[in-house]
Amino acid sequence: MKKQEETMLQIGNTLVSLNVVEKKFCCNLAACKGICCVEGDSGAPLTDEETGIIEDEYENICDYMRPEGRKAVDEQGTWVIDTDNDKVTPLINKNECAFVIFEEGITKCAIEKAWADGKTIFRKPISCHLYPIRLKEYADFIAVNYDEWEICKPALANGEAQGLYVYQFLREPLIRRFGEKWYKELMLAADSLLNMQF
């Protein structure tokens, strides 16, 4: 692990923003209602592999979707190219992900619900699982950044109350994306950095 330019931690081929290890965060769905899935100007970012998986698994997922979500997929496909030339999930009414469902006023994911029921092998896009971390891939490294969004303020307060840092809250998706060895290195780097501050 190296500290890179005082603002990033270098772990393997990744550069991790210090906010990932210094900021406390824990989603509070009761407060935010999962609004991150219905706000924004683009769908959930998808990897090349994920676009193929969603195409293959769509028949196992569609029964969990709202009619308007299925209509959006019928019209646009299981994924689209957005204005930034990225592959993303299609939208309903230009802001809601087509795979969004609502349960007791809380926004949830039809893909993840199908996965929880054992109907699909795909849990959900890694970009959703990792949020509020966003990844940016470059030729020689991957930037691992904390994405600050006003609607996540309740998660900051909840993180303080729970004593959880971003990287701790996102342990499972970080291991899913980068592996156990990488995550252990991140934990060691975080401990070292936080101990230096106290």
For the record, the structure tokens of 82 come out as 């957005």
Residue 197: its pLDDT value, please?
60
Q: Which residue has the tokens 């971390």?
A: 133
For the chain (198 residues), the mean pLDDT of every run of 10, in chain order, is 61 94 92 81 92 97 97 97 93 91 92 97 96 93 92 91 96 97 95 72
* 17 to 20, 104, 149: CA distances (angstroms): 6, 35, 16
User: What is the C-alpha separation between 198 and 194, in angstroms, rounded?
Assistant: 7
User: What is the C-alpha separation between 150 and 165, in angstroms, rounded?
Assistant: 18
User: What is the C-alpha separation between 146 and 66, in angstroms, rounded?
Assistant: 31
For the record, the structure tokens of 104 come out as 């007791």
User: What is the C-alpha separation between 178 and 129, in angstroms, rounded?
Assistant: 13
Residue 14: its pLDDT value, please?
96
Residue 78 DSSP label: S
| 36: CB partners within 8 A, 6+ apart | 107, 131, 149, 151, 152
Beta bridge partners of 102: 107
* pTM for this model (two decimals): 0.88
At 28 the three-state DSSP class reads coil
Residue 3: its pLDDT value, please?
45
